[in-house]
Structures are given as C-alpha cells and as structure tokens.
Chain A
Amino acid sequence: MIEYFVKYSDKLLTALAEHVCLVLISLFFSLLLAALLTLLSSYSSLMSKLLVSLFSMIYSIPSLAMFAMLIPLTGLGRTTAILVLVVYNQYLLLRNFITGLDEVEPAIVEAATGMGMTTFQVLTKVRLPLSRAAIFAGIRLALVSTIGIATIAAQVNAGGLGAVLFDGLRTFNMNKILWGSLLSAGLAVGANLLLGFAEKKLGGKSVEDEL
C-alpha cells in the first residue's frame, strides 16, 4: 500500500490538489452568494423564509441526480461540479447564518436600533459579531460536506479524489480504493480541525470566554 503511494504519488497528489482546488473554489463562491442572500434576508423576513425553504428543497435532491440534471445545461466538467456544490452549500450556510443572526437577543437589537444604527450597522456591528459561533459552524459544515460531495463530482469528469475512488471501484484496485478514501476522509477531518483552530485564533476574546 505504501509502495503504491510512492509509485503513484504524483497521480495521487494531483488528484488531491484537484480536489482541494474544487472545494476551495466552490466554498469561495458559496460564501459570496450566501453572504449576499443573508444580507437580503436581513431586510425581509419573508425573503429569509422563502430562501431557506427553497434551498432546503434543492438540498434534498440526491447529488448524483443533480449532477446528471445539469449535464445538458453545463456539460461535463468542473463548472457543473462547482455549480452543484455552491447550490448545496446555500442551505447549510443560509440556515446557520440566518438562525445565528435571528438568535441575537431582541433587547440588544432594539437598543442598537433605538440608538440610531441603520439596519446595515445593526447587522455588521452587533448581529454578525454576536453570531460568530453559528456562522463558523455553518462554514465548517459546508466545508466538510463539500469535500464529501466533491468526490461524487468525479462522475461528471470534475477530477479530484473521487476519480481515484471510482477508478478503484471499477477495476477492483484495492490500493486506489484505500488511498482515495483515506485521502478524502483525511482532508475532511484535517480541514475541519484547521477551521476550528482558525476560529479560535480569529475570535480573540470570544463572548463565551467572558461568561
């Protein structure tokens, strides 16, 4: 097994790099879109309900079916994969972002509004910092889920570790199956830990520490 890795290390590492790349690009666009939609939702509660139920519906579609459905539109390859991953993430991100923002104590929001903060200032100065935990939880969830679903994206020729895995399954190559799963699982666990660490670093003095 180790021998296999040494022999094919370039192929395995390329697959890993492709996978990471796919995940990072998807996550980037996911966050961008989710931030925009959350901003929109903070101005209208109807909009927020609508968006969450829409994306929860989409999220319930099996990923393979979703990839297949998009092939006629965007063809095989990375674009299709990224599109699907971004749309899936919206449910995880929006649900966490919106719940986090809504759970800020109403008295705090009322005090902020009453003092003359604009809706945007209440969001950026009060509600966002106070829902940091929920926001990070959403991002971690989205990251781990993206790493997982991205393996299935190999079915639409998006490359990555999924390609190694499915190759192994097709040809009963135990080495490929093992390395494919090991690397993708390791990636998910590692990324999750890394983000947890980043949250601690970034937060400095967190609100929970104070209590």
Chain B
Amino acid sequence: MPHAIEFQNVSKKFNKASYYAIHNICLTIKAGEFVTILGSSGCGKTTLLKLINRLYDPDEGKITLFDEDVQTVDVIQVRRRIGYVIQQVGLFPHMTIADNVATVPNLLKWEREKINRRTDELLELVGLEPKEFKDRYPSQLSGGQQQRVGLARALATDPKIMLLDEPFGAIDSITRFKLQDELKQIHGGLKKTFLFVTHDIEEAFKMGTRVMIMNEGRISQFDTPRAIVKNPADDYVTSLVNAAREKDRFWEEYQ
C-alpha cells in the first residue's frame, strides 16, 4: 500500500529570510494515521502543512500523496482533494452554515439533492442538529460551534487527507477537551489520514498515533507518544517532556 504522504528532502525558504523554514525534511505517513505536529511558533509546522496542499511550494525536494507528485497535479485539484481546517476557522460570514459546509460540493457542481443530504450528514457527524443550524449565519455561533462547522466543511467531499492547523487553538479548554475526544472518534470512524498541528504538548500526545516534534525547520523526533517519552531524541524533546511533567507536578500539589 502506498504512503499517504511522503516528503523527500524537502526544503523551503521564504523570500528575504536567511534561514530555512523547512530544512531537508524526509518523512512518510501511512494511510489512516493520526499524526500530530508539535513545536513552538516559528518552527515550521504550519509551513510543512501548507506545503502539502500547495499553499506554498517547496524550493527543493519532492512531496507525494499516494505516490503522486503534488507538483504534477493541478493545484486546484490537489486542494479539493484535501480537507483543510485552520485556527481562525475562516467561515464565510455572508453564507449560511449549510452553504458554508457545501462550499466544495457547490464548486464541484453536485446535484442539489445530494448536497442537501451530505450537508445534513456532516452536521450530524460534528454534533450540530441540522434543522437548528443550517440556516444560521456563522456570527450566530459560538467559537466551538464555528470550528465544528469548519470541520464539517473540510470533510464535505470525503477527502483522504485532512490537514488541521491548530483547529482548537482559540477555543476554551473545556470545549477544547470535548472537541479533541470527538475529533479522535471521527478519525477512528473515517479511516482518513489526519495531520494535526498544535503547540500544546498534551494535545499532541493525546491525539496522535504518532507525534512529530519540530524545531527550527527540522524534525527532532517522529515516533509514538510512548517511545518519545521513553527515549527523547535530543535536548529539545527532553525539555518539552520535562515541561509537561513540571505542569503535572503543579496540579498534584493541589491534591
């Protein structure tokens, strides 16, 4: 079976920058994995994600999705095959929830009937009652509800790969906890490949079947949560794990 995502010596440098945002990265991700990408801001994790749906193009190296070089496929086609969720959600304020969810099906000119059915199905999947939410506008929803819509919108055409860029970054911790559980469940039910960027170590270790830890444009370690905690690959990973332990101790003091 081909790899869902493969990077071969991929580098990316932005105009005028003196350093690489992504430096000579090689990685393979199997279909159905839930990979979380963890790192502090500026480490290149968002850049890595955007290279996959070609919001950026690499300066060097090759990226393949299911053995297909993304550079050889029309950029619009690549993006329509990949679900994309961002922290600011980016719902279209002038469209109803139903129209937001149906954005890509509408672009692909599906039949009205099929679009309606799919919209209901998706809203139910993300825990929003279709009847109640379909005709509302994004501004009438809470942050958590908006991100549920964002998720439904990204899942609309049943993409094999989902890219999620800190989707719960702006959501309060109680809602966030709930959404994390639900997202894990959705992933389990759909058999899709998820790439989930976060700067929250607990979120990364809780969600990911494998965790990719990035630092200064390179991958420090890419392994299962258990293996990382057991054998941190370098000082950066060690400091991350220690920081998380520190936090635990903080809470234990209150017991």
Residues of A bordering B, CB below 8 Å: 105, 107-118, 121, 125-126, 129-130, 207, 210-211
**Across the interface, do B93 and A115 meet the contact criterion of CB distance under 8 Å?**
no
23 CB contacts below 8 A, A to B, read: A107-B90, A108-B90, A110-B90, A111-B92, A111-B150, A112-B92, A112-B103, A114-B53, A115-B80, A115-B154, A116-B76, A116-B104, A116-B107, A118-B76, A121-B107, A125-B92, A126-B92, A129-B94, A130-B94, A207-B94, A210-B93, A210-B137, A211-B139
A130 to B93, CA, bound (A): 8
**Across the interface, do B107 and A207 meet the contact criterion of CB distance under 8 Å?**
no
**Across the interface, do B76 and A112 meet the contact criterion of CB distance under 8 Å?**
no
Given A210-B139, A210-B140: A113 and B92 interface contact (C-beta under 8 Å): no
B99 shortest CB reach to chain A, Å? 10
A103 to B88, CA, bound (A): 16
Inter-chain CB contacts under 8 Å: number: 64
Closest 8 CB pairs of A and B: A111-B90, A107-B88, A116-B80, A116-B79, A114-B84, A107-B90, A108-B90, A210-B137
Q: 8 Å CB contacts to A: which residues of B147-162?
A: 150, 153-154
B-side contacts of A114, CB under 8 Å = 53, 55, 79, 84, 86
Q: 8 Å CB contacts to A: which residues of B109-148?
A: 137, 139-140
Given A116-B104, A207-B93: A107 and B86 interface contact (C-beta under 8 Å): yes
Q: 8 Å CB contacts to A: which residues of B33-76?
A: 53, 55, 76
B198 shortest CB reach to chain A, Å? 18
A10 shortest CB reach to chain B, Å? 48
A-side contacts of B107, CB under 8 Å = 115-117, 121
A121 to B76, CA, bound (A): 11
Write the chain A residue with the least CB distance to B75: A116
A-side contacts of B137, CB under 8 Å = 210
Write the chain B residue with the least CB distance to A118: B76
B-side contacts of A207, CB under 8 Å = 93-94
Residues of B bordering A, CB below 8 Å: 53, 55, 76-80, 84, 86, 88-94, 103-104, 107, 137, 139-140, 150, 153-154
Given A110-B86, A210-B137, A210-B140: A115 and B92 interface contact (C-beta under 8 Å): no
Write the chain A residue with the least CB distance to B80: A116
A129 to B92, CA, bound (A): 10
A-side contacts of B86, CB under 8 Å = 107, 110-111, 114
B134 shortest CB reach to chain A, Å? 15
B105 shortest CB reach to chain A, Å? 11
A-side contacts of B94, CB under 8 Å = 129-130, 207
